[in-house]
């Protein structure tokens, strides 16, 4: 269909013209609902959400209902004009997707004011929204200094060389926070850091949470381990203290909790952004998704399928792998004709999965785009030349360009303060990321806590030699050449 080709080429006006012609001359066509769905997407892409919603309303018999909800959520979240959104809410008062998206904007997007309280209450009532999730966060009060508790497993009670070595990443993380504190002090935004040793189990963490002084903090950063994260999430909600988990990607931690945030994007968020990028970038509209037999990779694969198909694509294959078993890898690729697919997604950090995938692609002489995790760059079984020879896209949340000014400046300041280089910077850049985030957090506390909600909706793509990325930006780069 010419209209489909036009949308792939992002020729929105031509696509809309052809779709209008189809609706006028073939109004009995059995595939008309799909054409109308495509027309709604074209309208969204052209910045015409009102027209898009009108078209979706006209699709008969609730056809593509689930897909409609997803496409509405995807595109309505991009609206930055509050007045425009208010008009949409008035025009479509019974549309649950519109109401939910506006409530998300009020709470997660920082739009909320006291004047919005009646509207938010009505939305919660009309669409049975979770009151705990959509409760308004009180506006932060301006303070002369902000108190930030850092809850990390320093494990000072075990000074052995092995423990110190194993805990180096914790030391580096805290060192980065100290450097951030210095930077904020110079900018006139003083922050006090209070470090607490949570140990390696929840017993010591519970003792820390029982301290009266912790309830007086403006913010809490930590912890590291999953069991402790759940405890702290409950504490944050009960005490109404903004809490940021620096490492977890578990989206379940922030469900119905307005006080707990992830610095890292959840697996579902990464998958959604990846699916949107694939739909915009690749010419083919079909995909195969293979995922490792873990809860995180399963969540990624399912979210990818849902998001990609909501945009109009089709995931023809969704399979589970156990890359430690050769027969499981073989079964995963059996019957999959890679030469006819639009792209392939492999959600696996397993080193055997990387080597097997590239070998299988070579055997089928397939050059289709491949989306996978950035950890493949650290796989000794996958050489840079093998990646460079293919159309590979990496989901790399933590990549920092070591040649960029920001990273080099961070390294310089780190050495000046601690008299040694940051050990984690070359591979993860965690301290530098936290430095950036705490700067934004300080401004958020100073002006509006709602900014923090942006953190959990971010996922990034990074080319191997890309520029440094700011936490609030989604950047996409293709792995085109490792020698650039």
Query: What is the model's pLDDT at position 484?
Result: 29
* CATH code of the domain in which 383 resides: 3.40.50.2300
pLDDT at 448: 36
Same domain, 107 and 253: no
Q: What is the largest CA-CA distance in the chain?
A: 79
pTM: 0.65
Residue environment code for 430-463, b if the CB has 16+ CB neighbours within 10 A, otherwise e? bbbbbbbbbbbbbebbeeebbbbbbbbbbbbbbb
User: CB–CB of 100/70 below 8 Å?
Assistant: no
- Residue 110 placed within a domain: yes
Q: Are residues 297 and 259 in the same domain?
A: no
Pair 152, 177 in one domain: yes
For residue 64, being part of any structural domain is answered with yes
- One domain, residues 261 and 279: no
Task: Answer yes or no: is 478 within a domain.
Answer: no
Within a domain: 472: no
Task: Give yes or no: residues 367 and 436 share one domain.
Answer: no
Confidence at residue 136, expressed as pLDDT on a 0 to 100 scale: 65
Q: Which pLDDT belongs to residue 1?
A: 61
CA–CA gap between residue 317 and residue 305 (Å, rounded):
10
Model pLDDT for residues 250-267, shown as the tens digit of each residue = 877 777 677 888 877 888
Rounded CA separation 300/250 (Å): 11
Comparing C-alpha atoms, which of 365, 362, 403, 404 is closest to residue 385? Answer: 362
Count of domains in the chain? 3
The burial class, CB within 10 Å (0-12 / 13-18 / 19+), for 334 is exposed
DSSP track, 83-117? HHHHHHHHH-TT-HHHHHHHHHHHHTSS---GGGH
**Mean pLDDT taken over the chain:** 79
User: Are the C-beta atoms of residues 245 and 261 closer than 8 Å to each other?
Assistant: yes
* 16-41 residue pLDDT tens: 888 878 887 777 787 788 888 888 88
Residue 99 backbone dihedrals phi, psi, to 5 degrees? -65, -45
Query: For residue 483, what pLDDT is reported?
Result: 28
* Domain finish residue from 347, 373, 395: 395
Question: 272 and 217, same structural domain?
Answer: no
* Pair 39, 71 in one domain: yes
SS3 234: helix
Q: What distances in angstroms separate CA 448 from CA 112, 148, 264, 288, one per listed residue?
A: 10, 16, 21, 42
Rounded-to-integer distance, Cα 403 and Cα 398, Å: 15
Range of the domain at 65: 2-126
pLDDT, tens only, 340-376:
899 999 999 999 999 999 988 888 777 889 999 988 8
The helix (run of H) or strand (run of E) holding residue 162 is: helix 161-166
- Please answer whether residues 92 and 55 qualify as being in contact, where contact means their C-beta atoms are separated by less than 8 angstroms: no
Q: What local confidence, expressed as pLDDT, does residue 3 receive?
A: 66
Spatial strand order of the sheet with 191-197 comes to: 191-197, 146-152, 219-221, 242-245, 260-262
Helix, strand and coil content of the chain, in percent to the nearest 5, comes to: 50, 10, 35
What pLDDT score was predicted for residue 463?
A: 34
Is 134 a domain residue? no
- Residue 86: inside a domain, yes or no? yes
The contacts of residue 86 (CB under 8 Å, 6+ apart) are 102
Tens-place pLDDT, residues 367-412:
889 999 988 888 888 888 888 778 888 887 766 677 778 778 878 8
* 3-class secondary structure, 220: strand
Q: Quick one: 440 and 374 in the same domain?
A: no
What pLDDT is attached to residue 461?
34
The tens digit of pLDDT for each residue in 435-458 reads: 434 544 544 444 333 333 332 223
Give percent of the chain with pLDDT exceeding 70: 83
Is residue 456 within 8 Å of residue 265, measured between CB atoms? yes
pLDDT mean over 269-284: 87
What integer pLDDT is reported at residue 140 of this predicted model? Answer: 59
| Angle formed at CA 94 by CA 88 and CA 96, multiple of 5 degrees | 85
Residue 2's pLDDT is what? 62
Q: Express each pLDDT in 162-208 by its tens digit.
A: 777 777 888 888 888 888 888 788 878 788 899 999 988 889 999 99
């Amino acid at each position: 269909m010419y209209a489909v080709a036009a949308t792939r080429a992002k020729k929105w006006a031509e696509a809309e013209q052809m779709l209008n012609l189809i609706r006028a001359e073939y109004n009995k066509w059995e595939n008309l609902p799909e054409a109308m769905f495509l027309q709604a997407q074209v309208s969204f892409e052209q910045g015409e959400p009102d027209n898009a919603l009108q078209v979706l309303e006209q699709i008969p018999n609730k056809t593509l209902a689930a897909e409609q909800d997803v496409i509405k959520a995807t595109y309505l979240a991009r609206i930055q004009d509050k007045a425009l959104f208010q008009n949409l809410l008035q025009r479509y008062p019974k549309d649950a997707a519109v109401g939910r998206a506006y409530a998300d904007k009020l709470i997660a997007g920082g739009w909320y004011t006291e004047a919005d309280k009646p509207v938010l209450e009505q939305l919660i009532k009309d669409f049975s929204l979770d009151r705990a999730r959509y409760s308004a966060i009180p506006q932060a009060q301006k303070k002369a200094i902000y108190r930030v508790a850092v809850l990390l497993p320093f494990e000072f009670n075990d000074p052995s060389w092995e423990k110190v070595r194993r805990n180096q990443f914790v030391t580096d993380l805290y060192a980065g926070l100290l450097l951030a504190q210095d930077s904020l002090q110079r900018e006139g935004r003083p922050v006090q850091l209070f470090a607490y040793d949570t140990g390696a189990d929840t017993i010591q963490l519970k003792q820390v949470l029982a301290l009266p002084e912790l309830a007086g903090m403006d913010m809490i950063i930590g912890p590291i381990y999953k069991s402790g994260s759940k405890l702290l999430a409950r504490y944050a909600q009960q005490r109404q203290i903004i809490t940021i988990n620096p490492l977890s990607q578990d989206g379940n931690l922030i469900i119905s909790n307005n006080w707990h945030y992830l610095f890292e994007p959840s697996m579902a968020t990464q998958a959604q952004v990846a699916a949107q990028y694939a739909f915009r970038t690749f010419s083919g509209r079909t995909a195969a998704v293979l995922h490792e037999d873990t809860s995180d990779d399963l969540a990624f694969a399912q979210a990818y399928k849902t998001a990609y198909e909501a945009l109009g694509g089709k995931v023809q294959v969704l399979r589970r792998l156990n890359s430690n078993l050769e027969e499981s890898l073989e079964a995963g690729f059996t019957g999959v004709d890679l030469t006819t697919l639009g792209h392939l997604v492999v959600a696996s950090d397993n080193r055997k999965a990387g080597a097997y995938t590239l070998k299988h692609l070579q055997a089928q002489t397939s050059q289709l785009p491949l989306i996978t995790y950035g950890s493949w760059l650290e796989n000794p079984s996958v050489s840079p030349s093998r990646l460079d020879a293919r159309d590979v896209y990496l989901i790399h949340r933590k990549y920092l360009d070591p040649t960029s000014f920001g990273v080099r400046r961070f390294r310089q300041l780190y050495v000046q303060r601690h008299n040694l280089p940051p050990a984690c910077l070359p591979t993860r850049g965690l301290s530098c990321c936290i430095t950036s985030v705490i700067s934004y957090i300080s401004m958020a506390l100073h002006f509006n806590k709602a900014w923090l909600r942006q953190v959990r909706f971010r996922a990034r793509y990074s080319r191997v030699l890309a520029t440094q990325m700011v936490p609030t930006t989604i950047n996409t780069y293709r792995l085109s050449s490792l020698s650039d």
